Amino acid sequence: MDFSADSFWADADRHLIRYAGRADFTREIIARAEGSFVFTEDGRKILDFTSGQMSAILGHSHPEIVATVRRQAATLDHLFSGMLSRPVVDLARRLAETLPSPLEKVLLLTTGAESNEAAMRMAKLVTGGHEIVSFARSWHGMTQAAAGATYSAGRKGYGPASPGNFALPVPGADWRQELDFGFEMIDAQSVGALAACIVEPILSSGGVIEPPLGYLAALHEKCRERGMLLILDEAQTGLCRTGTWYAFERDGIVPDILTLSKTLGAGLPLAAVVTSAEIEAAAHERGYLFFTTHVSDPLPAAVGNTVLDVLLRDRLEDQARELGTVLRQGLLAISDNHDVVTDVRGRGLLVGLELISDDIGQRVTRRCLELGLHMNIVQLPGMGGVFRIAPALTASDDDIALGLSILDQAIGDVVKTHSNR
């Protein structure tokens, strides 16, 4: 068998379906990962400033996660979906203990899209409606209902979306008026079957946009007035990343349904839907059905328990808050050095750096990778390029300093090259 890089890319190009829109695969063969770094087959060491797919909050190949996978896979990995094991019940109880009342009933699944699908399905059954409201720059997943509630990308060319989806303006400076107007338009279009509003407490794929304090409470009230449920999608913000266990804590509200995914498995496929006993009972009474192949699987649930062990023991919400301050200060210094940087925003270790144009953003992304830093650039109409910066919660001060140094150099190199053209 030919193990050369040329053969690898020939096989990849011939046999893999491309799934990232018009974006290409990163032309690096990744051989292993450890902590905050991934290592290529040809020996390059690349700092990971996105925690994999915004998920690996404990870094890569965390020794306690590795030990859990080995132990659990050797004893109990998968069951018939109607059977229960101790890791599943333990994780449900422990998740409920991290959340305010009345959030106490848990459904364990696999991906963020799946958890959002399950949450919206539950909301529709409980309310009797089918209409779903979400932000105009939202991303909730690629399955049917989740994709229908996603507006930041991927809507065109696939035929009709799920009926009854409405977009709400992303909150800006005049957010109260925008919220009132948004619901006036929704009320005008609704057939009287509003079921739920699903939003991220911080829009990540939408450009790391944080609704102003007070917005989520006002949104929750709009939902109550219409008999809708409020679903908060904390795929990327949950479990300490923003400096608190859950991003919604800042706003003093409790959602009707909470979805978790990426950070819960710290890079492994694990997701959850969490709701109240009242909503769960109403759904069960109506025959709620979400029977999937990997619902309540013991292996990922065991990993989730280990994730909670580490987060609690090492107080990683404090680490995210402290490291986030260092990261933000460094990005503000970069902003002072480079006129092409137009904004720095976010919370904890989920930070956005906005550049003046998507062209410069693409060039900076490529230059960062050349210098040994992996970055993720969001490109949406009406915005420049926004880097979503989300290092692992276990990153060191040196990791943050290295990433800031490379980013500063990459922006400088691109600006110099651009101005000399």
Q: Residues 124-138: pLDDT tens digits?
A: 999 999 999 999 999
Strand 373-374 and strand 45-48: the pairing is parallel
Of 226, 262, 347, 367, the catalytic one is 262
Judged against a pLDDT cut of 70, whether residue 384 lies above it is answered with: no
> Which pLDDT does position 382 carry in this prediction?
63
> Looking at the predicted structure, is the pLDDT value of residue 365 above 90?
yes
Can you give the pLDDT at residue 421? 64
Position 99 scores a pLDDT of 98
pLDDT of residue 379: 72
CA dist 353 and 341 (Å) reads 7
In whole angstroms, what is the distance from residue 231 CA to residue 7 CA?
46
Per-residue pLDDT tens over the stretch 307-346: 999 999 999 999 999 999 999 999 999 999 999 999 999 9
Is there a catalytic annotation at residue 189? Answer: no
Q: Is 379 noted as a catalytic residue in this protein?
A: no
Q: Is the pLDDT of residue 383 over 70?
A: no
Whether 199 contacts 138, CB under 8 Å: yes
CA distance 126 to 168: 22
Question: What is the residue type of 240?
Answer: C
pLDDT one-digit tens code per residue, 280-306 = 999 999 999 999 999 999 999 999 999
Whether residue 262 lies in the annotated active site: yes
pLDDT per residue as tens digits for the range 146-163: 999 999 999 999 999 889
Tens digit of each residue's pLDDT (9 = 90 or more) over 52-111: 999 999 999 999 999 999 999 999 999 999 999 999 999 999 999 999 999 999 999 999
C-beta neighbour count of 397 within 10 angstroms: 10
Among 131, 233, 251, 399, the one annotated catalytic: 233
Q: Has 156 been annotated as catalytic?
A: no
Res. 393: pLDDT tops 80: yes
Which of these is catalytic: 236, 245, 280, 347?
A: 236
Domains of the chain: 25-54+315-419 (3.90.1150.10), 65-313 (3.40.640.10)
Average pLDDT over residues 221-247: 98
The SS3 assignment for 72 reads helix
Task: Spot the catalytic one: 72, 256, 388, 399.
Answer: 388
pLDDT for 91: 98
Question: Sheet of 257-260: strands edge to edge?
Answer: 103-109, 271-276, 257-260, 229-233, 194-199, 131-135, 165-168
Residue 91 and residue 96: Cα distance in Å, rounded?
A: 8
- 297 is an active site residue: no
Indicate if the pLDDT at residue 2 is higher than 90.
no
Q: To the nearest whole percent, how much of the chain has pLDDT over 70?
A: 98
Mind listing the pLDDT tens digit for each residue in 343-363? 999 999 999 999 999 899 999
Identify the CA nearest to 387 among candidates 136, 242, 208, 151: 208
CA-wise closest residue to 238 among 346, 317, 170, 328: 317
Q: Which of 137, 139, 175, 234 does the annotation list as catalytic?
A: 139
- Residue-level pLDDT at 162: 87
- Determine if residue 24 is left, alpha or beta; phi over 0 gives left, psi from -120 to 50 gives alpha, anything else beta: beta
Least confident of 3-7, 20-24, 236-240, 285-289: 20-24
Share of the chain above pLDDT 90, in %: 94
Tokens of 111: 């991906």
